[in-house]
Amino acid sequence: MKTADPIIAPAALNKIRAIQSALQENKIDAWLFYDFWKRNEFAQRILELPRHVLNTRRFFYLIPARGEPRKLVHSIERWNLDHLPGEKVIYLSWQSLETGLKKTLSGIRTVAMEYSPGNAIPYISKVDGGTIEMVRRTGVEIVSSMNLAQFFESRWTEEAYLDNLDTAAVLHSIVNKTFLFIGEKVKRKEPLNEYDVQQFMAGRFQDNGLVTMEAPNCSVNANSGNPHYEPTKEVHTDIKAGDFVLLDLWAKKNKPGATYNDITWVGYLGSSVPEKYVKIFEIVRDARDAALNFLRKSFSEKKSVRGCDVDDAARALITERGYGEYFIHRTGHSITEDLHGSGANMDNLETRDERAVIPETGFSIEPGIYLMGEFGIRSEINVFVSKDYEVIVPGEPRQQEIVALLK
C-alpha cells in the first residue's frame, strides 16, 4: 500500500523561498546542507530537524537558487527530511552515496557549505575535510555559507530583543546587589570568598527566573588577570579590604527563543580607587566606547561594517595607549540563544572575521587589559543592531568608573 506524501508546513516552504532569494542575491547556485551525528548545528537549526530524530547516517539537502530542493538520505533514515520539500534519493552503500551525490548536484556549479577557507573562521567549519573532498570530486565549487548562516541563524526576533532588555535590566540590578553584598560582608569582617559571591549571583538568577549555561564569575586580584578564570567550591580566593573585584555574569529568560545578556563590571574594596586601577580602567572604557562609536558613525554614514573592523577600533586605542600586548582576546562575540552565538564576532586577532555586522543581531563589546600576576580589567557591554541600523546597548548605563565598594 502506498503511503501518503508527507505534508510540508507553510513555514518550511516560506523559509526555503527566503533561502532561495538570498542565494540569488549572493549569486550562489545552491546551499548544500550536510550532517552526520548532529555535528552541524547550522543544518540542524536552519532546517529545523526534529530533536528526537536520530541522525546516525549522512544526509545531504540541496536548496537551489531556483527550482525544487533535493534530498539524499540513507535507507534506514529515509524519513528524516520528510518535513522538508524536495525530491528524495535514497542511498544504501557508500558507492550509492557517491552516485546519489553526483545526481543531487547535477547542473550545479557553485554550492555554499559550512566551510571556511583556511579555517579562517572556525565557528563556521562544520563540514569535515573528507566530505569537502567528496563534494569537490563531483566538479562543483564550494564557497563558505558564513553570511547565509548568519542571516538565517543569528538574527533576533522582536520578542527576543524585548526579552533581552528585561534581562539586561535584571543583570544590572544583580551587579548592584552583588557589590553591596560584598561591601557589607567585608565591612563586617565576615568570611567571604569568590565562590560565595558566585553563588550569591546564581541565587539572584534563580530569583528572577533566569537560566545560564554556566555559573557567573567573580575574580579578585591576580585571578582577574585570567580572562577565563572560574571559582569553584574547591578552588577560590578569599575576599578582603583592598582587593580588586571583577564580576562577569551572563543569563537569559527561561523560555524558547530567549537571548543571553552578558556583562562585566569591576569594583575595588576601598573608599577610593588606587590610580593603578583607574588608569587601566579608563583605557579599557575608552576602547569599549571607541568600538561602539565606530559602529554608530559607520552605520550613520551607510557604511558596511565587518566584525574585524570593530575589533580594530577597540584594539587601536589600547595599542596607542601602550597596552596592546596585554589585550589578549577578541573584542566581542556573537550572542543569540547561545551565549557564544553563530553570527559575526568582533575579531581581528584570534580570527579574521570578515562577516558583516547585520541588522537584528546582537554581540558583546568587551575589551580588556590583563597584567597577569597582578590584575586584569575588562568592561563588557552588549550591542543590538536594529532593522534600521540603530546601535542599541541593552542595560545602560555603561560603567564609567570603577565602583568603590567601601564608600
| Averaged pLDDT for residues 333-348 | 96
Instruction: Kindly state the cell numbers that stand for 178.
Output: 552583588
CA 342 to chain centre: 5
What pLDDT, on the 0 to 100 scale, is given for residue 68? 97
Domains of the chain: 10-153 (3.40.350.10), 155-404 (3.90.230.10)
pLDDT surpassing 90 at residue 7: no
Using CA atoms, how far apart are residues 348 and 315, in angstroms rounded to an integer?
9
| Averaged pLDDT for residues 62-87 | 97
What pLDDT, on the 0 to 100 scale, is given for residue 4? 58
| Averaged pLDDT for residues 380-391 | 98
What pLDDT, on the 0 to 100 scale, is given for residue 8? 86
pLDDT tens by residue, 184-206: 999 999 999 999 999 999 999 99
pLDDT tens by residue, 289-340: 999 999 999 999 999 999 999 999 999 999 999 999 999 999 999 999 999 9
- The number of residues making up the chain comes to 407
Instruction: Kindly state the cell numbers that stand for 353.
Output: 572575521
* pLDDT band at residue 9 under the 50/70/90 scheme: confident
Amino acid symbol at 231: P
The three-class DSSP label of residue 9 is: coil
* pLDDT band at residue 1 under the 50/70/90 scheme: very low
pLDDT surpassing 50 at residue 100: yes
pLDDT surpassing 70 at residue 90: yes
Percentage of the chain modeled with pLDDT above 90: 97
CA distances from 233 to 180, 230, 393, 401 (A): 22, 10, 34, 31
Amino acid symbol at 53: V
Give the pTM. 0.93
Using CA atoms, how far apart are residues 252 and 338, in angstroms rounded to an integer?
9
Instruction: Kindly state the cell numbers that stand for 78.
Output: 529515509
Using CA atoms, how far apart are residues 76 and 74, in angstroms rounded to an integer?
6
The mean pLDDT of the chain is: 96
151: CB partners within 8 A, 6+ apart: 22, 358
Alpha helices in 217-326 (DSSP H): 275-300, 307-320
